A and B are shown apart, each in its own frame.
Chain A
Amino acid sequence: MDLSSINPILLLASLMVAATPLLLAAVGELVVEKAGVLNLGVEGMMITGAICGFAIAVNTGNPLLGVLAAAAGGAVLSLLFALLTQVALANQVASGLGLTLFGLGLSSLIGQGYQGIRPPSFPRLNIPGLSDMPVLGRILFSHDLMVYLGLIIVTAVWFMLKYTRAGLILRAVGENHEAAHALGYKVVRIRIMAILFGGACAGMGGAYISLIRVPQWTEGMTAGIGWIALALVVFASWKPWRVLLGAYLFGGVTVIQLNLQAAGVAIPVEYLAMSPYLITILVLVIMSADKSSAPASLGRVFHASR
C-alpha cells in the first residue's frame, strides 16, 4: 500500500471532473420535477446525448459542436416523453422507464462503427493569472469549459427558481397544476419546456462522459449515472445547492476510491466500488430530514377539462 502516490491537488481537480455529468443530469431533472413531472428516462437521455455528441464531434472534429448535438439529442428524446405524458396523458413512470430502455437501444444502434475511435480532445480553459496560481489554479481554474458550464447552470437554476417570476410560475405549476390552470397559466406548455431543458442537460451530461471523462464510446457507458441523478434530486430535497453538494460528494468519493484501489488498499474492490453510492445517499438522507417535501403535483397527470 502506497498512499503517498495519491496527489491531493490532482484528486481535488479530478473530483470536479468526475462530478460534472451527474451534476448536469441532476440539475436538469430538478427543473423537470419542480414543474411536477417525474421523468425516469434520465439514463436513456444521457446515453443518447453521449453518442450524439460523440458522433458529431468525431465527424466535424469540433467537440463544442458535439456538446450542442448532445443537448439537442437529449432534448429530442425527451420530447418523445413530453408528447407521451403531456399530450397523450400516458403514465409518467412507465413512459420514463420506456424512455431509458429506448435510449439505451437507440444509442447502441447509432454507436455501431464508433467503437475504438478517439474523439477530438476538448480545449482546456487557460485563464491567464488564475490558472497559474499555485494549488488553487490547478484545482479550480484549469478545467474544460463544461465544468464551469455545469456550475453556471446550477447557479442560474437556483436564481431562476428563487428570484424570478418564471421560476415562481414553474414552481406553482409543479405544486398545484389545477390552481395554476385556473389562474390562466399554460400548464402543458410550461411542463414541455421544463422536460426539454431536462433532456438537454442530461444529454450534455452524457456527452461529458463520452467526450471528456472517458473519452471513447462504449455501449451502456453512462453506467447508472442517470439513476443516481434521479435519487440525488430526491435526497437533495429539490434544492439546487444540495444537488451540487451531492454531486461533488459523489464525484469526490468516486475519485478517492479509484485512487485507493490503485494504491492497493486492503479493502475488497467491491466495497470500494459501492462506497460512492452508499456515502452520497447516506449524507443526503441525513440532510433531507428537514420538512421540505416534493412538489405536490409531482407525477400526476394533468388534464385541462377538469
Chain B
Amino acid sequence: MTAPVLSIHGLTKAYPGVVANSDVSFDVRQGEVHALLGENGAGKSTLVKMIYGLVKPDHGSMTFQGTPYAPAEPRAARAAGVAMVFQHFSLFDALNVAENVALGMEDPPRLADLAGRIREVSETYGLPLDPFRTVGDLSAGERQRVEIIRCLLQDPRLLIMDEPTSVLTPQEVEILFQTLRKLTAEGVAILYISHKLEEIRALCDTATILRLGKKVATCTPADTTARQLAEMMVGTVLHTPERSGRALGDVALELSELSVRSPSAFGCSLKGVSLAVRQGEVLGLGGVAGNGQDELLGALSGELRSAPDMVRMHGTPVGALGPMERRRIGLLCAPEERLGHAAAPDMSLTENAMLTGSLREGLERRGFLDWTKAKGFAEAIIARFDVRTPGPGNAARSLSGGNLQKFVIGREVMQRPEVLVVNQPTWGVDASAAAAIRQALLDLAAGGTAVVVISQDLDELMEISDRFGALNEGRLSRIRPTSELNIEEIGLMMGGAHDMEVAHV
C-alpha cells in the first residue's frame, strides 16, 4: 500500500449549538480516489474546509506528506499542495478564464504565459478551454474545467472535489472521470465528496463515511452495494418506499394537445402533449434535461397560460387560470429550482410557507396575514419532513440544498393537493431524505391525490410511478405502465423513438 498523503487525527470542530465534526480520523493515500460520504449536514463540508484552511479545527491534528500540517488560510494550504474544486463554483463571471485562474494561484506568471500554460494543461487532460473567453458565457461543465485547471496548474498532491458532478451532464461526468483517473495515475490523491453512490462505486478506491459529524466506517466502495453505503450513512436500515395497492379513481388532471411556447430563448416549447392522470395514480415523466420539463411544470402551475381546454381539472378547463386560482382548486406544483423559484432565498421559512400556503391553509383573512398560523404551518412542515434548521425564522438561503428541498416539497404535500406536480423532487438530496420524500409522494397518492413526478432520475421514476412517459424535444412519448418497461425501452422512449417501439411490441 502506498504512503498516506494526508493523515487526519481526531479533528473536532464545534459551532454554537452543533458539533460539525467530532474526533474524525482517516488517511488519504497517494494515487487513490477517496470518497467522503454522509447525509446533508453530516459534516463533510466543514471537514474539507479545515483541510483547505478556511476553518480552524478546535482539536486534532493533520499530517501532510509526513510533516505536521495546520493551514491558517487557503494560501498556506495551496502552498503545501492542497487544491480544492468548490461545490458552488468560486468563479468570477465578468473576468476571463486566464484571470480567474490567476486569482487562484500564489504566484501567477504573466497573463500571456499563463494562457499558454492553460492551453497546454487543458490539452494534456482532455479539457478543451479558451483562456480568453469570459467565464460568464461558459456552460456548467466548462466552468468546472476552469476550476480544475486552476487547481492542476499548481501541481497539487491532494485535490479536494466537493460534489463535482451535480451540475454535469452524463457525458461531462465521463470526461471528468477520465481526467481524474489520469491524475491518480500520476500519484495525485483525490478527496471526493458526492451523493451519487453509483458514481462513487465506479470511481473511488476507498470511502470514509460520516454520520452526525463522526466517522462511522471506512470501506471499499466497489465491494459494497449502494444500499449498504446508504445504510451506513443513515445508520438505520434504509426504508424502501412502499406503495399500497390502491384502486384508481376518476381522471383528475387531463392535458389534451397542450402546446406552449417557451418563454426563454434557450427553452423548449411544448408540442401537443396529451396525458391523463387518475386520482391515486403516480405518473412519472423522464427525459434528458431541457426537453420541455420546465415548460410543462410552468404550464401546469399557471406560470405559462394556454388555451382553457388544453388543461382540465376534473373536467373543468383551467388552462387560462393563473397560479393562485389553480391552487384554490387543488392543483399544486413544486418547481425544480429551489432558490429563487420554489422559495424566496432571503425570506424566512415562515414567509415562504405563507407564500404558497396562504390560500389553502387559511393563513390570510380578508387580505390580512395571520403570522401565528403561518409559523405553525412552517413548524408543522419542519417537524413532519425532518427539516434540519434552528427554526422557522431562518432564511431559506441558510438551509442546505437537501433540507430546503424537503421544506418546499413538504409545503405542497401538507396542503392536501388534489393534483401535485413536482419537478426533480430529490435533486441533491441524500438517500434517506430522498426516500422520505418519495414515501410522502406515495402516501399522498394512496390518499387519492393524482401525482405527476418529473425527474431525471430513472431509478426514482421506476420506484414510485405507476405509469411512465418521456419528454423529448417538447413532445411526450406514449405513456406505458412502469411494470412492463425495461431500461432499454426507456432509453428508446427518451431518445424520441416513440413509434418504433410500438411496432416492436
A residues touching B (Cβ–Cβ < 8 Å)? 165, 168-169, 171-172, 175-176, 178-180, 182-185, 293, 295-296, 306
Q: Is the interface of A mostly helix, strand, loop or mixed?
A: helix
- Could you list some 12 contacts between A and B, CB below 8 A? A172-B92, A172-B103, A175-B93, A175-B95, A176-B90, A179-B91, A182-B86, A183-B74, A184-B74, A184-B75, A293-B94, A296-B94
Contact indicator B102/A179 (Cβ below 8 Å): no
**A180 to B90 alpha-carbon distance, docked (Å):** 7
Contact indicator B74/A176 (Cβ below 8 Å): no
Q: Which of A168, A182, A184 has the most CB of B within 10 A?
A: A184
Closest beta carbon of chain A to B238's beta carbon, Å: 32
Contact indicator A169/B94 (Cβ below 8 Å): no
Contact indicator B74/A171 (Cβ below 8 Å): no
Closest beta carbon of chain B to A175's beta carbon, Å: 4
Contact indicator B108/A165 (Cβ below 8 Å): yes
A168 — which chain B residues lie within 8 A by C-beta? 95, 99, 102-103
B284 beta carbon closer than 8 Å to chain A: no
**A179 to B78 alpha-carbon distance, docked (Å):** 16
Closest beta carbon of chain A to B114's beta carbon, Å: 11
What is the chain B residue whose CB lies nearest that of A169?
Answer: B103
**A179 to B103 alpha-carbon distance, docked (Å):** 10
Contact indicator A175/B74 (Cβ below 8 Å): no
**A179 to B93 alpha-carbon distance, docked (Å):** 11
B94 — which chain A residues lie within 8 A by C-beta? 171, 175, 293, 295-296
Q: How large is the interface on B (under 10, 10 to 19, 20 to 34, 35 or more residues)?
A: 20 to 34
Contact indicator B95/A171 (Cβ below 8 Å): yes
**A182 to B94 alpha-carbon distance, docked (Å):** 17
**A168 to B105 alpha-carbon distance, docked (Å):** 12
B residues touching A (Cβ–Cβ < 8 Å)? 53-54, 73-75, 78, 86, 89-95, 99, 102-104, 108, 398
**A90 to B341 alpha-carbon distance, docked (Å):** 28
B53 — which chain A residues lie within 8 A by C-beta? 184
Q: Which 7 A-B pairs have the closest CB atoms?
A: A184-B74, A179-B90, A175-B92, A182-B90, A184-B75, A184-B73, A176-B92
User: Total A-B residue pairs with C-beta atoms closer than 8 Å?
Assistant: 48
Known: A168-B103, A175-B94, A179-B92. 15 other contacts (CB 8 A): A165-B108, A168-B95, A168-B102, A171-B92, A171-B94, A176-B90, A176-B93, A178-B90, A179-B91, A182-B54, A183-B90, A293-B94, A295-B94, A296-B94, A306-B398
B54 — which chain A residues lie within 8 A by C-beta? 182, 184
B93 — which chain A residues lie within 8 A by C-beta? 175-176, 296
Q: Which of B54, B73, B92 has the most CB of A within 10 A?
A: B92
**A88 to B94 alpha-carbon distance, docked (Å):** 28
**A206 to B93 alpha-carbon distance, docked (Å):** 36
Closest beta carbon of chain B to A300's beta carbon, Å: 11
Closest beta carbon of chain A to B58's beta carbon, Å: 16
Contact indicator A172/B95 (Cβ below 8 Å): yes
Q: Which of B78, B90, B398 has the most CB of A within 10 A?
A: B90
A295 — which chain B residues lie within 8 A by C-beta? 94
What is the chain A residue whose CB lies nearest that of B134?
Answer: A291
Contact indicator A182/B95 (Cβ below 8 Å): no
**A127 to B9 alpha-carbon distance, docked (Å):** 70
Within the complex, which residue of B99, B104, B398 is in contact with A183, where a contact is CB–CB below 8 Å? Answer: B104
**A180 to B74 alpha-carbon distance, docked (Å):** 11
**A184 to B82 alpha-carbon distance, docked (Å):** 13
A171 — which chain B residues lie within 8 A by C-beta? 92, 94-95
What is the chain B residue whose CB lies nearest that of A186?
Answer: B73
B108 — which chain A residues lie within 8 A by C-beta? 165
B398 — which chain A residues lie within 8 A by C-beta? 306
Closest beta carbon of chain B to A34's beta carbon, Å: 11
B78 — which chain A residues lie within 8 A by C-beta? 184
A178 — which chain B residues lie within 8 A by C-beta? 90
**A180 to B92 alpha-carbon distance, docked (Å):** 9
A175-B95, A184-B53, A184-B75 known; A165 vs B90 contact (CB < 8 Å): no
**A169 to B105 alpha-carbon distance, docked (Å):** 11
Closest beta carbon of chain B to A305's beta carbon, Å: 9
**A183 to B154 alpha-carbon distance, docked (Å):** 14
**A169 to B99 alpha-carbon distance, docked (Å):** 10
A185 — which chain B residues lie within 8 A by C-beta? 103
Q: Which of B74, B78, B108 has the most CB of A within 10 A?
A: B74
B91 — which chain A residues lie within 8 A by C-beta? 176, 179
A178-B90, A183-B74, A184-B74 known; A165 vs B95 contact (CB < 8 Å): no
**A185 to B91 alpha-carbon distance, docked (Å):** 13
A176 — which chain B residues lie within 8 A by C-beta? 90-93
A306 — which chain B residues lie within 8 A by C-beta? 398
**A184 to B52 alpha-carbon distance, docked (Å):** 10
What is the chain A residue whose CB lies nearest that of B92?
Answer: A175
**A176 to B53 alpha-carbon distance, docked (Å):** 20
Closest beta carbon of chain B to A166's beta carbon, Å: 12
A184 — which chain B residues lie within 8 A by C-beta? 53-54, 73-75, 78
**A299 to B162 alpha-carbon distance, docked (Å):** 29
**A296 to B90 alpha-carbon distance, docked (Å):** 14
Closest beta carbon of chain A to B396's beta carbon, Å: 13
**A179 to B54 alpha-carbon distance, docked (Å):** 12
B104 — which chain A residues lie within 8 A by C-beta? 183
A293 — which chain B residues lie within 8 A by C-beta? 94
What is the chain A residue whose CB lies nearest that of B104?
Answer: A183
What is the chain B residue whose CB lies nearest that of A182?
Answer: B90
Closest beta carbon of chain A to B394's beta carbon, Å: 12
Closest beta carbon of chain B to A187's beta carbon, Å: 13
Q: Which of B99, B102, B103 has the most CB of A within 10 A?
A: B103
**A179 to B92 alpha-carbon distance, docked (Å):** 7
**A182 to B89 alpha-carbon distance, docked (Å):** 10
What is the chain A residue whose CB lies nearest that of B107?
Answer: A165
